[in-house]
Copies of this chain bind each other. A is one copy, B any other.
Amino acid sequence: MTTAQAGGMFDPVAKLKEYISHPSVSADPAFAEGMKGARECVGGILTDIGFSVEYVPTELHPIVVAKREGDPSWPHVIIYGHYDVQPPDPLELWATPPFEATEIEGRLYGRGTADNKGPLMAHLTAVGRLLEAEPDLPLRITFVIEGEEEIGSQNFKSFLRQHKDKLAGADFVFLSDTGIPSAEQMVITVGLRGMVAFEIELSNARSDLHSGMYGGMIMNPIQGLAELCASLHTPDGRVNIPGFYDAVIEVEPWEREQLSLLGLSEEQFAKFLGVSKFHVPPGYTPFEAIRFLPTLEFNGIGGGYQGEGTKTVIPTKARVKISCRLVPNQTPEEMKKIIFKAIEQRVPAGLKLKLSPQHEATPYLVVPPDRSNSPKDQPPVLARAFRATHEVVKEVWGKAPLYLREGGSVGLIADLKSELNLDAILLGLFLPQDNLHAPNEGFDLSVMHKGITTIQEILRRTAHP
């Protein structure tokens, strides 16, 4: 019996492999069976460790809600995770099968290992061990594990509205769906970027046209789209949309200081990403830019003939998918308004515009206790959990955590704030090399084991002040 299996609990790595084997791609209806499999896998684990499990239907993928009830005086923590994963394509770039988790040199490879199946498995294991060690632990725990995080958690907000009772009396949210710079440095994420995603389609003639017979006569939709897209940034790397930065708040000195403690080297990071240079607005390091600034990124473009060889057409239409990351104090509503206005004004003459909003997320910021220059009173259980986290991380990881904003978006964190006024402790567990949303996603098992110990002890100290 290994350490990982101490106490008769399930082996988290074996369980994670099983969990990964369910291809739970929420974006594609073809994976409905995998969604069901992943959902029931996680529900089964929760039942095994003593939770009452419910699959709450939404308009698309049900949410797993699992409760450990208790005395109303006990603290109540919500542990969040998601059982859905990103699509695995491009498949040909995977070195191992994306849905057969493969262990190589202390890392587990497969779609969802890091985002979010591995980190969620750390929480499940920690809770299982904690309750095994102390069956009467004075702590109420509610797991909320959704199936639409990778497609924008569109139904999460209405779930919160309809099922407020299930989360009544919660003190804070605890989760691991954020990153750390190395296996040695814990980061507590205190801010997340929001998002406005949409698709632009420009079209012209009634059908594709022969580029010889009609070339040089009309505006080519690809040309028009290129001109429109090119207008959206300035040469120095800023987004070129009036008002785009108006709501961005000043970065506080402690934030820049914490970030500097990360000790990241631009050269090493460029090498790691395989890029020859960074492209960042003036006044920001690359590490600051991805945390403190909003963006406009192109996620996909398509139009005309993309097969082998040549096909000399002027295509009738061309499309681009864009997502903007927002920073705290920007709202999706307001940003969508100014972005769409700029796009509508820049459609080249002769082309028709179709602008389709896709998903949205509000940015998030929490100021942990003892950090802000202008501290606000925090609810006592949240403040206690934050302080417990600080101490446990120092003990288990050998140094204090850093408190950083992250570049990614976890829209439901903002929803939990707006709907239930709950803040979150985001304990990072994935590494830069974990290839989230990309081929060869992987998860460091030593981080997982350290994470289990950390989570278990944070919850214990939250229960026992």
Contact = CB atoms under 8 A, between A and B. Distances in A.
Contacts of A408: 210, 212-213
A306 interface: yes
Nearest to A320: B222
Given A226-B298, A290-B216, A206 B312 contact: no
B275 A350 contact: yes
A20 B352 CA distance: 35
Nearest to A211: B297
B440 A207 contact: yes
A216 B299 CA distance: 13
A220 interface: yes
A31 to B, nearest CB: 12
A295 B212 CA distance: 9
A350 B277 contact: yes
A229 B301 CA distance: 13
Contact of A301 (B209, B295, B303, B349): B303
Given A86-B311, A207-B438, A323-B312, A297 B216 contact: yes
B299 A301 contact: no
Interface in A405-459: 406-409, 432, 435-440
Nearest to A87: B311
A216 B298 contact: no
Q: Taking chain A's interface residues, is the majority helix, strand, or loop, or is none over half, making it mixed? A: loop
Contacts of A439: 207-208
Given A216-B325, A217-B279, A301 B438 contact: no
B27 A218 contact: no
B435 A299 contact: no
A216 B407 contact: yes
B323 A208 contact: no
Interface string A231-264: 1110001000000000000000000000000000
A294 to B, nearest CB: 8
Interface in A58-109: 86-87, 89-90, 93
A437 B352 CA distance: 22
A167 interface: no
Nearest to A151: B309
A211 to B, nearest CB: 5
Nearest to A270: B218
Nearest to A232: B223
Contacts of A440: 207
A266 to B, nearest CB: 10
A206 B297 contact: no
A172 to B, nearest CB: 23
A115 to B, nearest CB: 9
B303 A304 contact: no
A216 B87 CA distance: 23
A409 B286 CA distance: 48
A279 B349 contact: yes
B302 A359 contact: no
Contacts of A226: 225-227, 229-230, 298, 301
Contact of A274 (B28, B207, B323, B409): B207
Contact of A205 (B90, B233, B275): B275
A113 to B, nearest CB: 14
A304 B301 contact: yes
A230 B214 CA distance: 20
Given A229-B222, A311-B87, A311-B437, A212 B407 contact: yes
A299 B305 contact: yes
A226 B230 CA distance: 5
Interface string A272-291: 01111111110000100110
A315 interface: yes
A193 interface: yes
30 contacts: A27-B311, A28-B309, A152-B310, A197-B310, A197-B312, A206-B273, A207-B439, A210-B437, A211-B323, A211-B325, A213-B406, A216-B281, A216-B297, A217-B280, A218-B277, A222-B298, A222-B299, A222-B301, A223-B230, A225-B226, A229-B230, A277-B349, A297-B314, A300-B306, A301-B302, A305-B321, A306-B321, A310-B359, A312-B323, A313-B437
